[in-house]
Amino acid sequence: MASISERTFIAIKPDGVQWGLVGKIITRFEQKGFKLVAMKFMHASEDLLKEHYTDLKDRPFYAGLIKYMRSGPVVVWEGLNVVKTGRVMLGETNPTDSKPGTIRGDFCVQVGRNIIHGSDSVENAETEINLWFTPEELVEYTSCAHQWI
C-alpha cells in the first residue's frame, strides 16, 4: 500500500547549482507538499559517486558522469508516492524528451548535463538515502500537512 512516509533521494547536480536553480527546485518539492527530511550541501567523493552509479559502470559515459557529479546539494523528501511523483517532476533522463513544466524540461538541454538526480524506485531510494546520509541526519518531526493528506 502507498505510504505517506515513502522517501526519495534527490540530488541537484553541479550544473544545477551553477545555474542558480537550487531554490527553484526545492520550491517545487515544497509546493507539491512533500516533507523535507534531510538536506546537505557537499562535494561528493569519487568513491561515493562510483557507488551511487554502480549500475552504470559499464556504460561508455560512466567516467564522464562521475567527473561531472563532484558537487551539489542533496536532499531527502518524504510523502505519498514521492518516488514516482518525484520522477514525474524531474522529467525524462534526456531533457529533449522532457515536457515543459518538468525540471529537466524547463532548465536543461543535454542528457550528460541534466541537472538533477531522483531515485527510480522505493528500494533504490532506501539504498541511496543510506549511502548519502547517516540515520542522525534524517530529521524527525511531524509536518503540519500530515493531517490533510
Pick the closest to residue 103 from 26, 8, 36 (CA basis). 26
Assess contact for 15 and 50: CB atoms under 8 A. Answer: no
Which C-beta is closer to Mg ion: that of 92 or that of 120? 120
- Does residue 114 interact with ligand DAT by CB under 6 A? yes
Please tell me whether 96 is known to bind a ligand: no
Residue 117 is among the residues annotated as catalytic for this protein:
yes
Pairing of strands 7-12, 72-78: antiparallel
Under the criterion CB under 6 A, does residue 57 sit at the interface with ligand DAT? no
Other beta carbons within 10 Å of 72: 22
Write the binding mask 26 to 45 for ligand DAT: x where contact by CB under 6 A, - elsewhere: --------------------
Which run of H or of E encompasses 89?
Answer: helix 82-90
59 is in an annotated binding site: no
**Per CB under 6 A, 10 contacts ligand DAT:** no
Q: Which of residues 63-122 bind Mg ion (CB under 5 A)?
A: 120
Residue 30 vs 123, nearer CB to Mg ion = 123
Strands of the sheet containing 116-118, edge to edge, are 35-42, 72-78, 7-12, 116-118
Q: Is 7 annotated as a binding residue?
A: no
Which residue ranges make up the site for Mg ion (CB under 5 A)?
120
- Residues at the binding site for ATP are 13, 61, 87, 93, 104, 114
